[in-house]
Chains A and B, each alone.
Chain A
Amino acid sequence: MFFRLASKSIIYRKGSVMLTIIALSISMLVMFGVEHIREQAKVSFSNSVSGVDIIVGTRTGELNLLLYSVFRMGKPTNNMSWQSYTNLKNNPQVKWALPISLGDSHRGYRVLGTTSNYFDYFSYGEKQALEFSNGDKFNHLFDVVIGSEVAKSLKYQLGDQLTLAHGIGSTSFTNHTDTPFKIVGVLKPTGTAVDQTLHISLQGLEAIHLSASKRKELLNKAQQPLTNFVELQPQSVTAVMLGLKSRLSAFQLQRNINTNNEEPLMALLPGVALSELWQTLSVAESTLRLISSLVIISTLFGLSAMLLASIRERQQEIKLLRMIGASPFFIYWLIELEALLITLVSAFIAIVLLTVGLTASKSFLLTHYGLSVNANILSVNTLITVSILLFLTFLAAIPPAFMAFKEANRR
């Protein structure tokens, strides 16, 4: 009955209650959203580069190189020479070197040109190697290996043919059949940017950019091994990912590359660069958190004021409740419960909206930012935040509840 009384009372006052609920929901939405995406981004980002010791590219901002080469965010970087790649590969400290070439996309998904040992060396998460759910690595000029998300959302299967065209993708009608790539492998989900990537050989990537007549010639030779296409070896690549024999040498190698005068190159340690990124973002993050906290606090003041005003209208109700035997404490807790219900409902709305929003934007975040977010925001942290908010609500409701208590005691 107590609960019913409070909930019906809130519904009865829906006009003013609604505004409070909207304000509270929005600010909680921002609060929970920022917190959740921040956590998910941290996990997703560090998973994506966990297996790479050093990334080398041309001199641009460290963050820009990292974001572009791994997540394809930010401005495209200049290319570095093939010669530099070979030098790195032959460096005694280096265990493996993976050249990558970016710049093209297929229906919104990025196309990555690399060597076939990419699938042997690249690892993600807690040092997990890439695995195929179907098929195998690329061995021919027009072979493509796709990430799980690409396969899922574009409904591609092993053996399917797809067209890759420079910059434009499948919307191009002119060179439709010119460079028909065949899917030879589908990777298992990794929860990283790999899932949104189409992997082809560097030679294949080079072939896309040739003139139409040259491409036609190549089509006839497509079944030959990749090593036969020496003329298709690229002059330059976007970046090179390095795995070291010993991680201890990372800083030294980084310094050597950065100070090398042959070509202006930059080496970054992904872990270090990422923590710098979080540092930079933490200002924006705490600003958002501060703003949403301030909004929540001022809304709670508003809630308090709204309830205070309502007590004045509810004198008759209080008198009646007293007459049928309700104690002043009953009335005190009735007002408290109403306030707590308002906050609970707002938290519920915020959580539902956020979950729906995340579910809806999941694939957008994945394809555009390589960010895999879990739509389930119910974590211990959320529960703690909600509890703190309920406590603040309890405090905010003390003045109106106390006023109702006094009103009840007067009778």
Chain B
Amino acid sequence: MNAIEINNLEFSYSIKSEQNILKIADWSVKQGEQLFIHGPSGSGKSTLLNIICGLQLPQSGEIKVLGEALNNMSKRQRDKYRAAHIGYIFQQFNLIDYLNAIENIKLATHFSPNTKPSTLAAQIDNILTTLKLDAKDWHRPVNQLSIGQQQRVGIARALINQPKLIIADEPTSSLDQVAKDSFISLLTSLCEENATTLLFVSHDMSLQNHFNSSIALNSINHLKVKN
């Protein structure tokens, strides 16, 4: 089965300008694949990820994520679907400043239907330990943590609902080389363990060799984007 399937997708931010950002004829990602997506700035990488998450709907074409056609869902259903099945890691601001690590992770479970409150605390414990976050940092406001620590809490937050798909949009661009490498190996090994599909977007080509497959957005996007 494919984790993501796209057919004849067209997308533009505004109907008036009619300037398409994306036009993808046929593209799919296999379940369990760890895919590195690269492309120049402004080429529409983040836009594509938003569509996969169901935050934006294409003007035409079909998109299926984990076997469900997003086009057929209501906005509310897409929000629920995203909470339950997709973990998202941003470049930065992955966490809510005024909550601590544990609360941030709990917040992500608040919107997901698959949360079991009875085991939640143990699950959070477990995941933070796996991510090598010191227990003393668990209850500190997250803005007191280093960027690297914050990004690891971000992984924990993305993983807590045991999503089938993880999307990471340039999550390493604010980390140094050592932190970058350890971040990616942590993320990829955790995804491998759970057979989670991983989409990893970056323009940093040096990260490519961490992944078993890689793709340039421009090779699937049949649009010349003016820069």
Contacts and interface: CB of A to CB of B under 8 A. Distances in A.
Interface string B66-107: 000000000110011011100010100111111100010011
Interface string A1-42: 110110011011000000000000000000000000000000
B108 interface: yes
Contact of B83 (A4, A5, A324): A324
A325 B82 contact: yes
Interface of B: 50, 53, 55, 75-76, 79-80, 82-84, 88, 90, 93-99, 103, 106-108, 110-112, 157
A325 B112 contact: yes
A12 to B, nearest CB: 3
Given A1-B106, A411-B50, A411-B55, A326 B111 contact: yes
B90 A320 contact: yes
A4 B106 CA distance: 11
Given A316-B93, A411-B50, A411-B55, A324 B107 contact: yes
Nearest to B92: A316
27 contacts: A1-B107, A1-B110, A2-B110, A4-B103, A5-B96, A5-B99, A8-B98, A8-B99, A9-B98, A12-B98, A317-B96, A317-B97, A319-B90, A320-B90, A320-B94, A320-B95, A322-B55, A323-B88, A324-B88, A324-B108, A325-B83, A325-B108, A325-B111, A326-B111, A327-B76, A327-B79, A411-B50
B97 A12 contact: yes
B83 A320 contact: no
Contacts of A8: 98-99, 103
The 4 closest A-B pairs by CB, nearest first: A325-B83, A325-B111, A12-B98, A316-B93
Given A1-B107, A4-B103, A411-B50, A323 B82 contact: yes
A319 B89 CA distance: 12
Nearest to A7: B98
Given A8-B103, A12-B98, A323-B82, 7 more contacts: A1-B107, A5-B96, A317-B93, A325-B79, A325-B82, A325-B84, A326-B111
A324 B93 contact: no
A9 B103 CA distance: 12
B107 A5 contact: yes
A118 B226 CA distance: 101
Nearest to B55: A411
Nearest to A2: B110
A393 to B, nearest CB: 21
Interface string A306-343: 00000000001101111111110000000000000000
A11 to B, nearest CB: 7
A320 B83 CA distance: 11
Contacts of A411: 50, 55
